[in-house]
Amino acid sequence: MDYQVLRNELKEIRNWIFDLDDTLYPPSPEIYEQMAQRIRTYIMRVLNIDEKTASVVQKDYYKKYGATVHGLMVEHNIPPEEFTEYVHQLDLSSLRENPQLKACLNALPGKKYVFTNGARYHAERVLKKLNISACFSGIFSIREAGYIPKPAEQTYLKMLDTFGIKPQESIMFDDSPANILAAKKVGMRTVWISSNVTNNRYCSVDTKDFCDYETPDLTTFLSSLFLDKSA
């Protein structure tokens, strides 16, 4: 990657928008498994089904609706707040601070935001655990989205409107190809964080078709923006 070219291409960016899980921290099997198990447990309880069936429902709703909670709302009229409160009661002890990432976030020109399909208080807990809460000017969670998750275009437009920002001055970082493609369609620059093996497996299109940049590591990408020209 030509870092000088990259810096020139991003010089108009004033708004840096980050997904939360598997983007601001590396993919964590511990957190993923906790969340998946709590989703299955919740589905088992409210739909009175066994775990195997609950797993099928979880995956089907995620694929069809973009988030399991939205599928439960549409198909079963489940209160979304109840779901998100239960599912996001997670042990975050596996997360570690990344001082280099924090320094990069603080050095970026303009404002930083979190845009997540997760619960707001989950985002707040994660940012606090990573010690980067003060880096961000706002959080747009599934609640602010009216429980209509990424990659719905209306949710991106609502996020932009909520923060009062222009897509052409914004860049989106996400580990989901579908979410990145949606960001690109509404006019944002995009960076695919490609370290999520699960999302990699479901990526069937060429990178150039859905993102402007690709990196397996957010910190490395952001660090490149501050390298000397001779680097």
Beginning with the edge strand found earlier in the chain, give each strand of the sheet holding 170-174 in spatial order.
138-140, 111-115, 15-18, 170-174, 189-193, 213-215
Query: Based on the structure, what is the number of domains in the chain?
Result: 2
Closest by CA position to 69, among listed 30, 33, 43: 43
Q: Which structural domain range is residue 52 located in?
A: 30-87
Do residues 110 and 190 share a domain?
yes
Residue 107 and residue 143 share a domain: yes
pTM, 2 dp: 0.90
> Which pLDDT score is estimated for 230?
45
| DSSP three-state, residue 139 | strand
Task: Please indicate, yes or no, if residue 182 is contained in any of the structural domains.
Answer: yes
First-to-last C-alpha distance (Å) of the chain: 11
The whole-number pLDDT of residue 1 equals 63
The pLDDT value given to residue 4: 81
- Are 81 and 107 found together in one domain? no
CA gyration radius, the chain: 18
CA distances from 98 to 50, 101, 200 (A): 40, 5, 24
Q: Half-sphere exposure of residue 117, counting CA atoms within 13 Å on the CB side?
A: 20
Q: How far apart are CA 83 and CA 96, in angstroms?
A: 27
Question: Do residues 59 and 53 touch, judged by C-beta distance below 8 A?
Answer: no
CA nearest neighbour of 66 among 126, 118, 20: 118
pLDDT attached to residue 107: 95
The secondary element (H helix, E strand) that includes residue 81 is helix 80-87
Q: Which pLDDT belongs to residue 18?
A: 98
157: in domain: yes
Successive 10-residue mean pLDDT values, the chain, 231 residues? 81 96 94 95 97 96 91 95 94 96 96 96 97 98 95 97 97 95 96 76 55 94 76 41
Residue that is last in its domain, among 67, 87, 107: 87
